[in-house]
């Protein structure tokens, strides 16, 4: 198999796979949190920029006119006119096994889990099936411009191995783990506190810190893990510093009521996890639609993060996440954006931000493009405690980048002619855009997705093309 053929701008040539190269185009990156600072002063926008990359890191980023003399003739440059270069999108909550059941119709959360999710996840006991879905899932993330995600696998260790192996081939920084469930699920999906601990420990030792892969201890939620299993998960977390925890919190009114009946001694839902030892930095709680002020304060004080999943919350009728309440300046909580495939209805962060805007409006708040794109980039990195190396176009950061096409569709092209500034253009991108707006996705400086590279737009990190039948 030969390396991917070069495109017109030659971003897939072997010279781009190693050594120094550059991207040219408009560039935008956040340096402050627009929820806590003046939104108009929270970002840097350069209409014509150069991003110089070496060995997977950003070496320089600045105005083209200021850098061109040092670049011209000394390295390949991929030029993207009528485009914006941003940090790669970060998805803080998504289930890769649910890719095959996206759009499953007609149930609220608990019924939906039993009717669709648990049936689907049993298929991942078969390694070959997990490999096929992992490959498709990673490609869809990259097509959407997402370069890092916090990912749920299934209870089967094979599902974790399959996922991380594909992620390694693309070179993506992924956070993932085996789901822990020892009650209230079909027998074929149950482990025990002891087996879940042992299998997770083995997976941590195999995958955490291997290349760009990071492990996440993953009790599905309090309703499917006994107190003994929650305690075992907390033990794993203590024993393996730097690993993550992810679970669900206060997604649906029926779920909240059921959880309260299972844990009558705890004052609130978040208190269950806190008492178990599962709340703190690098803990990610999805949804949090129905949390109290006391729970938001607890999240702030312990450093836990919330994943805002608007398309999922709307699709299942779960409710409206109070984003601006969570980010309140006197006790801000770390919040990232989550697509929550497959209750979520789109891989695209642009489509997800479209729904986040509407959820905010229904809460009588106003989500500007600055707020939105911060959530999808640096805000997600902050939620994951990776904002020292991801989520910004700055020297020293990993060169995980997305190139957004401002003229991706005839309608977008027409609408952009009437935009007066970059924030209006970003707002058009998030209301009219989807994966068609992603011109290219770079992972550690390598163009693993390039829409113009046909017939196969995907390449692995080593430059080899993805099989057409993969």
Write the secondary structure of 77-115 as one string of H (helix), E (strand) and C (coil). Answer: EEEEEEEEEEECEEEEEEEHHHHHHCCCCCCCHHHHHHH
- What tens digit of pLDDT does each residue of 139-192 get? 999 999 999 999 999 999 999 999 999 999 999 999 999 999 999 999 999 999
Q: Are strands 179-180 and 214-219 parallel, antiparallel or unpaired?
A: parallel
Tokens (6 digits) for 384: 């994951």
Tokens (6 digits) for 179: 């789901």
DSSP string, 121-149: HGGGGSHHHHHHHHHHHHHHHHHTTEEEE
What is the average pLDDT score of the chain?
Answer: 95
Tokens (6 digits) for 42: 């929270």
Q: With contact defined as beta carbons under 8 Å apart, do 408 and 112 qualify?
A: no
Closest by CA position to 428, among listed 449, 414, 442, 441: 414
Q: With contact defined as beta carbons under 8 Å apart, do 214 and 164 qualify?
A: no
* Cα radius of gyration rounded to whole Å, the chain: 21
How far apart (Å, rounded) are the C-alpha atoms in residues 88 and 381? 10
The predicted model scores a pTM of 0.96
Closest by CA position to 78, among listed 46, 118, 51: 51
- Within its chain, how far is the Cα of 388 from the centroid? 16
Q: Are strands 146-152 and 179-180 parallel, antiparallel or unpaired?
A: unpaired
How far apart (Å, rounded) are the C-alpha atoms in residues 102 and 105? 9
User: Looking at residue 4, what is its pLDDT?
Assistant: 60
Q: With contact defined as beta carbons under 8 Å apart, do 310 and 359 qualify?
A: yes
Q: Write out the chain's pLDDT in tens, 470 residues.
A: 455 644 434 444 434 445 799 999 999 999 999 999 999 999 999 999 999 999 999 999 999 999 999 888 899 999 999 999 999 999 999 999 999 999 998 778 889 899 999 999 999 999 999 999 999 999 999 999 999 999 999 999 999 999 999 999 999 999 999 999 999 999 999 999 999 999 999 999 999 999 999 999 999 999 999 999 999 999 999 999 999 999 999 999 999 999 999 999 999 999 999 999 999 999 999 999 999 999 999 999 999 999 999 999 999 999 999 999 999 999 999 999 999 999 999 999 999 999 999 999 999 999 999 999 999 999 999 999 999 999 999 999 999 999 999 999 999 999 999 999 999 999 999 999 999 999 999 999 999 999 999 999 999 999 999 976 65
């Amino acid at each position: 198999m030969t390396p991917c053929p070069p495109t017109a701008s030659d971003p897939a040539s072997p010279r781009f796979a190693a050594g120094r190269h550059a991207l040219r185009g408009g560039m935008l990156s956040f340096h402050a949190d627009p929820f806590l600072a003046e939104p108009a002063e929270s970002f840097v926008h350069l209409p014509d920029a150069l991003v110089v990359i070496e060995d997977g890191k950003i070496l320089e980023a600045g105005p083209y006119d200021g850098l061109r003399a040092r670049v011209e003739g000394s390295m390949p440059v991929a030029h993207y006119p009528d485009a914006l270069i941003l940090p790669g999108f970060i998805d803080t909550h998504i289930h890769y096994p649910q890719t095959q059941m996206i759009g499953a119709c007609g149930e609220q959360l608990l019924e939906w889990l039993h009717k669709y999710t648990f049936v689907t996840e049993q298929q991942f006991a078969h390694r070959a099936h997990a490999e096929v879905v992992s490959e498709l899932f990673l490609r869809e993330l990259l097509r959407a411009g997402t370069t890092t995600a916090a990912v749920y696998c299934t209870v089967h260790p094979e599902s974790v191995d399959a996922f991380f192996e594909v992620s390694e081939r693309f070179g993506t920084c992924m956070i993932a783990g085996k789901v822990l469930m020892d009650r209230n699920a079909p027998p074929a999906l149950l482990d025990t506190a002891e087996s879940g601990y042992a299998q997770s420990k083995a997976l941590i030792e195999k995958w955490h810190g291997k290349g760009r892969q990071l492990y996440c201890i993953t009790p599905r939620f309090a309703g499917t893990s006994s107190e003994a299993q929650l305690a075992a998960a907390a033990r794993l977390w203590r024993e393996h510093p730097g690993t993550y925890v992810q679970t669900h919190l206060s997604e649906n009114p029926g779920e909240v009521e059921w959880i309260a009946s299972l844990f009558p001694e705890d004052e609130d839902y978040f208190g269950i996890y806190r008492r178990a030892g599962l709340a703190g930095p690098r803990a990610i709680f999805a949804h949090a639609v129905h949390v109290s002020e006391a729970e938001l304060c607890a999240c702030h004080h312990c450093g836990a993060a919330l994943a805002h999943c608007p398309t999922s919350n709307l699709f299942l009728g779960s409710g409206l996440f109070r984003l601006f309440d969570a980010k309140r300046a006197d006790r801000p909580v770390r919040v990232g954006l989550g697509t929550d495939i497959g209750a979520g209805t789109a891989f695209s962060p642009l489509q997800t931000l479209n729904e986040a805007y509407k959820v905010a409006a229904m809460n009588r708040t106003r989500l500007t493009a600055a707020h939105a794109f911060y959530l999808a980039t640096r805000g997600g990195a902050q939620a994951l405690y990776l904002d020292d190396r991801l989520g910004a176009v700055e020297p020293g950061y990993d060169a995980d980048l997305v190139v957004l096409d401002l003229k991706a569709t005839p309608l977008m092209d027409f609408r952009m002619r009437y935009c007066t500034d970059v924030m209006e253009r970003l707002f058009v991108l998030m209301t009219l855009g989807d994966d068609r707006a992603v011109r290219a996705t770079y992972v550690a400086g390598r163009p693993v997705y390039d829409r113009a590279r046909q017939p196969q737009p995907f390449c692995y990190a080593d430059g080899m093309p993805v099989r057409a039948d993969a």
